[in-house]
């Protein structure tokens, strides 16, 4: 069964994921079984303050669809997240006055993911340096750039 078939409408404005995948703490937050400091909610998206923020206003934006990584996300949830992120970012900037921010989205333990339910971090970056620190060690694009891009493009659907 395709994962997008596993949704059921339990009530108006409420979508519940019914597969047997492992439950995360975010599923409990979505259901209201664990409290959160909510900043936004619609029928597919929830956003709340991170319990261990990197900086003031650090917010998590999650789909209600319970999948671990972004490549597994349905088009409907992806569209809903894409619509919500800029709106939430504007709210965070308006309240915090932060001059900059990072949007971070980790997929897989090796990529620093700790909670295996898709989430986007919106992390204000302040003039005193508070916020996300980035270790960025680029390598050169190899001679196979054309082939690599074409191969990936052929897999995008």
Nearest approach, Cβ of residue 85 and ligand 5GP (Å): 15
Q: How many chain residues interact with ligand 5GP (CB under 6 A)?
A: 14
Phi, psi of 122 (to 5 degrees): -110, 115
Q: Which helix (H) or strand (E) holds 156?
A: none
Whether 119 is a known active-site residue: answer: yes
Which one of the spans 12-20, 74-82, 107-115, 130-138 is the region binding ligand 5GP (CB under 6 A)? 107-115
Structure tokens at 80: 């809903």
Which residue lies nearer to ligand 5GP by CB, 71 or 143?
A: 71
Nearest approach, Cβ of residue 74 and ligand 5GP (Å): 20
Which one of the spans 7-15, 109-117, 124-132, 138-146 is the region binding ligand 5GP (CB under 6 A)? 109-117
Q: Which of 16, 21, 25, 103 binds ligand 5GP (CB under 6 A)?
A: 25
- What gap in Å lies between CA 130 and CA 80, rounded to an integer? 29
Query: How big is the chain, counted in residues?
Result: 157
Structure tokens at 112: 């620093």
Helix %, strand %, coil % of the chain (to 5): 30, 20, 45
Give whole-number Cα distances, 84 to 39, 46, 92, 114, in Å. Answer: 11, 9, 12, 23
Could you list the active site residues?
119
Residue ranges that bind ligand 5GP, judged by CB under 6 A: 25, 34, 36, 48-52, 60, 106, 112-115
């Amino acid at each position: 069964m395709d994962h997008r078939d596993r949704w059921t409408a339990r009530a108006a404005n409420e979508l519940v994921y019914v597969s047997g995948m492992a439950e995360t703490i975010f599923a409990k937050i979505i259901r209201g079984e664990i409290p959160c400091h909510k900043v936004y909610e619609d029928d597919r998206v929830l956003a709340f303050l991170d319990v261990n923020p990197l900086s003031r206003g650090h917010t998590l934006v999650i789909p209600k669809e319970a999948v671990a990584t972004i490549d597994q996300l349905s088009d409907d949830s992806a569209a809903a997240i894409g619509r919500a992120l800029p709106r939430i970012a504007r709210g965070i900037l308006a309240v915090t006055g932060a001059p900059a921010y990072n949007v971070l989205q980790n997929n897989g333990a090796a990529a620093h993911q700790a909670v295996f339910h898709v989430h986007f971090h919106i992390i204000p970056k302040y003039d005193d340096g508070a916020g996300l620190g980035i270790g960025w060690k680029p390598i050169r694009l190899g001679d196979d750039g054309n082939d690599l891009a074409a191969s990936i493009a052929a897999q995008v659907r």
